[in-house]
Structure 1
Amino acid sequence: MKINQLSTFICMSICMTEFAYALPPAEGMQIVAEPDYIIPNQPICEMSYSPAATQFSLWAPSAIEAEIRIYTSYDSPEPEQIVPLDPDLQGSWNQTIQGDLKGKFYTFRVNIDDVWQKETPGIFARAVGVNGDRAAIIDFQETNPEGWNDDIRPAMKNPADIVLYEMHHRDFSIHASSGIQHKGKFIALTEVGTTTSDGQKTGIDHLKELGITHIHILPSFDFASVDETKLDQNAYNWGYDPKNYNVPDGSYATDPYNPVTRIKEFKEMVQALHKAGIRVVLDVVYNHTFSAADSPFERTVPGYFFRMYENGEFCNGSACGNETASNHRMMHKYMVESVCYWAKEYHIDGFRFDLMAIHDIETMNAIREALNAIDPTILTYGEGWAVGKLGYDDNKLAYKKYTFRMPGIAAFSDNLRDGLRGPFSDHHKGAFLVGLPGHEEEVKFGIAGGVLHKQVKANDFWAAEPTQHISYVSCHDDHCLRDRLVNTLGNDTSEETVLKLDKLAQTAVLTSQGVPFIFCGEELFRTKQGVGNSYKSPDAINAIPWTNKTKYHDLFQYYKELIAIRRAHPAFYLGTAEKVREHLEFLPTEGDNLVAFQLKDIQGIDPAQRIIVVLNSNKTNRKIQIPDDTYQIVVKDGKADRNGLGTHAGPNLEVEAQSAVILIKNQ
């Protein structure tokens, strides 16, 4: 369905970069203006079931006729009923069918300019059959697990106290060593007491042990790239191929044929994570669909939900063949209501927006405002870039550089990422971690959470508050940290060196004033065998080998203790730019590849009086002058312990090569 092999590669990798890969439109090509359609005032609801009757509604203002087609099963060759829909004055078509239709399936069909379009489950289907081709008529009360109405979000006293953990359902649980029964499924995250053969905790117990606060799950709505009828063929995809935005994908359900199962099991997963004290972030991909021409959007209101040129071509800022038009009023409404639906129906605690810069700032702010009305602690962040030329005014789009215009919305910091490991565009080129000079300011930018700071030299202080800065060094759509370091340093680099730099990288991330983000399995020294764009690679590439938890237990302990140290000290997440500028001071250093800072005057904020952090990526030990005092050592020489590793006294500190030191002066 993609326009060509190149765009398929770019689309599926969801490039974390600001380079423009797609070609700009031809000179003189004009963007089609939004049609002047009436937008309904009421929330989008295409199917409302009761045992007595089911109501149907479809917004299709350009249609001259519309019908609902009722099927007995997901694959019935012919409908058992075809019922015309009646138009109203707000561009919608409506009908009520008497009798109990529970268990039936349906599609809509509209007539545009005397041409009947292909069938669609609707633009806002909330339950579907296998592969999402037909919507399902269900009683949503039957999708709620026991105690669902009592499910509450885990407490979050300070929104800055967040540690994100990005996960793909299949990666996390599919390996034979996971000890998990329902491998690759939503309910893998409901199983407790799972361990490796040598007793190491896996699954949800591992997440609790690690100490993260939020899991970020890759797209879990119904996507098109995995055939749910052929799951025994080791089908794998990241899921950035939207089909039906408002229903969970069937490939992660134990029974993709049962419309109730996928919904109930998704809710069971959320409920189990909440009971474990972990919030859930959903990766949402409203910026494009798998196929524009075959999407419910285009089959319902052609030419409306996508940005288009006057010659009939789709704009392509996603490099996936199309880009949605959030600046059109109904798409704006759709996105706001869809996000709120997930927050209310599925108790989702946060949203990560793929290629967020394709969306306009007004829509992103409207989403934030609507979520604030539900729960202001619901997290929102996204990729502040697109892949190609967009069909809308750049000054109105949610680029990273405009994050300060979107209060309460965060963006990924490629500044810190690239400053630590090197650019996305060249996976053999390193930066601070491998000892290349000149990247200290990028690291300091990330440590300060992207906010204006007089000691940081930068041209793009794009975050108004540090909570708008997602601090990370690796994520799903590029080489994992281990592989990136090997690519940069060479295959003959010792494992000991790679482990050292791995720890150093995450020390920078987890002491940043931004929101720290960790890619699943980094704490277990995962490798994807050198594959970065592993969007459809087999389990042998993507699965987390849980046996690594024993082999690299020292690394796991470092991550665990570093997270615990951060969460025990609110000075690491001051939360406001004003406090960062007041309490974060970078210390003078001599030479390259050395960054040092202190968190000072933090009485009343933190249990500590002062915290010192030094990051040394040099291949030799380095000395630094620090405020003269007696400190507890919590990180040194590749070891981390929240309870202390000893003490340090005096102003002279020596930092081991390719390692970090964290010192705490207790009050």
Structure 2
Amino acid sequence: MKRYTQLPINQDSNQKQIKEALRLMTRDAVFVARNYYTGDLGAIYTPEFTDFKLWAPTASQVEIMIYDGYYGSLKKTMLMQKSADDRIFEKRIEGDQHGLTYRYRLTFMDSTVKMTVDPYAKAVTVNGHRSVVVDLARTNPEGWGDRMPPFENSQQAIIYELHVRDFSVDENGGMTHKGKFLAFTEKGTKNKVGSPTGMEYLKKLGVTHVEFLPLFDYATVDETVEEPVEYNWGYDPHNFNAPEGSYSTNPYDPFLRIKELKQMIQALHDAGIRVIMDVVYNHVYEVEHQSFHKTVPGYFYRYDEAGKLSNGTGVGNDTASERYMMRKYILDSVKYWVEEYHIDGFRFDLMGIHDITTMNEVRKTLDEIDPSILLFGEGWDLATALDSDEKASHNNASFMPRIGQFNDGLREALKGNDFDAKARGFINGAWYMEQKLAKNFMAGVDFGNYQDPKQLIQYVEAHDNYTLYDRLVAADPNLDKDSLIKRHELATTIVLLSQGIPFIHAGQEFLRTKQGVRDSYNSPDEINQIDWMRQETYRHSVELTRNLIALRKSEPLFTLNTYDEIKECMTLLRADYQIVAIEYKRDNERLIVVFNAQNNRVNYPLEEGEYIVKLIDGTVHLDDGTVTPVIDTIAIEPYTSIVLKQYLN
């Protein structure tokens, strides 16, 4: 691509040529290197005045458009001054400006005029069309205090992924604030037969972290409609630093959505559950209508050699995290969410679009606040306009310490390729998955591209995958129900006992179905909602999941911290004929773990002796009170697991 260090224009150039020159200039290496700003941006509030600062180096003029209230007509415009170094436009407005509603109007050299919200807006009007100045202290709920104390050991984390609306909208869920942040503040909710739902259910399940699909303001759900016609998970970013209004009880109030999100987080923290936020900095919904492109056209996105937007995300654009101001935006944003909302972790959507340096800088930024904040993402190797050795992909995980990666190796070893509904894995008939399963279960100990096991997020299903239940049904539609349930439980058992950080998709523990829809991002409630009565049908699976979580927490050998520990403590005893057996040994303690994916009972040979039974035939024994007589074999039922324990002399 031709590089421009100055505008190749003259007085006779037409507007189209000028616009193209401006767009190319913003991607020029010299422009990128020189035109950056390190200070605060956005509407910086104090009770005495508010400073407005906008990075717009290619604009010739910027005005603040001030409105009469949140939804009134334009009241006045105020010209902003360009800073001495020509990098930002700024304006101070005296007095307490809490609630002032504004947009920016930018004029460019080609006479183009664009109106936009503030990219750094922290409060917005309905559907995010206007920015609002906010005194954030006034949005704090009663009792809002400090962050939770640091999480002792990330290896102890158990992540539960859910969506605000999906989790609370079911009529059988017993929640009053259906589809809202406040659903998570409701206590004592039950389904129609009296079983706990909502927060009560989460507390009882025992997970340590809840990962929410996007909480920020997104584009395609009309917040003015009480029952939205459009459904979306939120992977269509609009305002990255303001909460989504459809989850508020009054989306017209710019401050209520902030307060109610804080109330939700506060309720989870009070229950001892930490909050992970799914963030989508890798793309925007519509480039031409997004504030990045309106403020500095051409700068915030990657382009291929033909000058077209890079599309590794598959949604039409990739942000350019390697450019200073895009990187700064990401760092400023995560810091804001942590400091203002007490967020405990981030899941980066399509993290492989971003560059290694940016992700390491995110880790550094979080460490300065709380090193126990979790950071992980989808490190897929995506076809974006960035060199392979710069991508924050799983191939480069060793260059990103303490940043986790979703391990699709375990997922596919368990159930087969996720893009093929008929594919098979270890749990349902694939005879060649045993070695792959064992290595991934041991956190990829011999893979060589991870620094420690905590970098692997271990899972079998997630929001945009087929649910495991749907995959099992598709592969074997005539399979008897008992075998299907046991296969499903076997997979969940393997995930929850694996080295690394286990991850559960909401409802996985009661065999969630999305009626065969894989990526149900825009499917209606009927497909996506959590069916709170399903826990009754699959009560055994729910209890098994709960007890496996407790077992993992109680046995330190399931949460080893380093690969040296894994190599020292774990030995693969067998991985063939749909059997995987592993021995753990440390100090005076020994565990034997065996997974049987055969459709018949297996008599597994043991060293002669007595064994404490921790798991057998789908039943967990949390104490050490269940002891075998002296035995040299043990029967393992089809599609089940055993965990045996011994204390050594």
Residue type of the partner of 2:578? N
Distance 2:571 2:340 in 1: 44
Cα distance per residue 1:248-291 (max 9 Å; x no partner):
11011111111111111111111111111111000000000001
Cα distance per residue 1:384-410 (max 9 Å; x no partner):
1155x2111111111111111100101
Q: Does 1:416 align with 2:410?
A: yes
Q: Which residue of 1 aligns with 2:189?
A: 194
CA contact (8 A) 1:611 1:664 kept: yes
Q: Which residue of 2 aligns with 1:571?
A: 557
Q: Which residue of 1 aligns with 2:640?
A: 659
Cα distance per residue 1:553-605 (max 9 Å; x no partner):
1111000001100011111011111111110111136x4111010110244xx
Cα displacement (A) at 1:39: 5.0
Show the 5 A alignment for 1:323-402.
Answer: 323-387=318-382, 389-402=383-396
Distance 2:187 2:507 in 1: 19
Distance 2:45 2:480 in 1: 62
Query: Which range moved further: 109-118 or 313-322?
Result: 109-118
Change (3 A) 1:30 1:68: closer
Distance 2:393 2:502 in 1: 20
Q: Which residue of 577, 601, 616 maps to 2:586?
A: 601
Distance 2:421 2:55 in 1: 46
CA contact (8 A) 2:381 2:391 kept: no
Q: What SS does the corresponding residue of 1:401 show, helix, strand or coil?
A: helix
Q: What SS does the corresponding residue of 1:544 show, helix, strand or coil?
A: coil
Cα displacement (A) at 1:638: 2.2
**Cα RMSD, aligned residues only:** 1.9
Change (3 A) 1:185 1:645: farther
Q: Which residue of 1 aligns with 2:176?
A: 181
CA contact (8 A) 1:151 1:274 kept: no
Q: What SS does the corresponding residue of 1:119 show, helix, strand or coil?
A: strand
Distance 1:550 1:639 in 2: 18
Distance 1:257 1:626 in 2: 66
Q: Which residue of 2 aligns with 1:519?
A: 505
Q: What SS does the corresponding residue of 2:287 show, helix, strand or coil?
A: coil
Change (3 A) 1:49 1:601: closer
Residue type of the partner of 2:192? S
Q: What SS does the corresponding residue of 2:512 show, helix, strand or coil?
A: coil
Q: Which residue of 622, 625, 648 maps to 2:605?
A: 625
Change (3 A) 1:196 1:159: same
Q: Which residue of 2 aligns with 1:551?
A: 537
Change (3 A) 1:409 1:83: same
Cα displacement (A) at 1:320: 0.7
Distance 1:519 1:404 in 2: 27
Residue type of the partner of 2:137? Q
Q: Which residue of 1 aligns with 2:13?
A: none
Highest RCO, 1 vs 2 (Cα 8 Å, sep ≥ 6) = 1
List alignment gaps of at least 5 residues for structure 2: 1-23
Cα displacement (A) at 1:201: 1.0
Q: Which residue of 448, 455, 464 maps to 1:468?
A: 455
Q: What SS does the corresponding residue of 1:653 show, helix, strand or coil?
A: strand
CA contact (8 A) 2:457 2:501 kept: yes
Distance 1:338 1:143 in 2: 18
Cα distance per residue 1:151-190 (max 9 Å; x no partner):
3325522221010000011111110111111111111111
Residue type of the partner of 1:171? D
Q: Which residue of 216, 228, 231 maps to 2:226?
A: 231
Residue type of the partner of 2:638? A
Change (3 A) 1:461 1:352: same
Show the 5 A alignment for 1:292-331.
Answer: 292-309=287-304, 311-331=306-326
Residue type of the partner of 2:417? P
Cα displacement (A) at 1:498: 1.3
Query: Which range moved further: 518-527 or 559-568?
Result: 518-527
Percent identity over the alignment is 40
Q: Which residue of 2 aligns with 1:96?
A: 92
List alignment gaps of at least 5 residues for structure 1: 1-28, 453-459, 604-608
Query: Which range moved further: 60-69 or 232-241?
Result: 232-241
Q: Which residue of 1 aligns with 2:465?
A: 478
Cα distance per residue 1:394-427 (max 9 Å; x no partner):
1111111111110010100010000000002312
Distance 1:58 1:547 in 2: 51
Q: Which residue of 1 aligns with 2:18?
A: none
TM-score by length of 1: 0.90
Distance 2:483 2:276 in 1: 33
Cα displacement (A) at 1:80: 0.5
Distance 2:119 2:170 in 1: 36
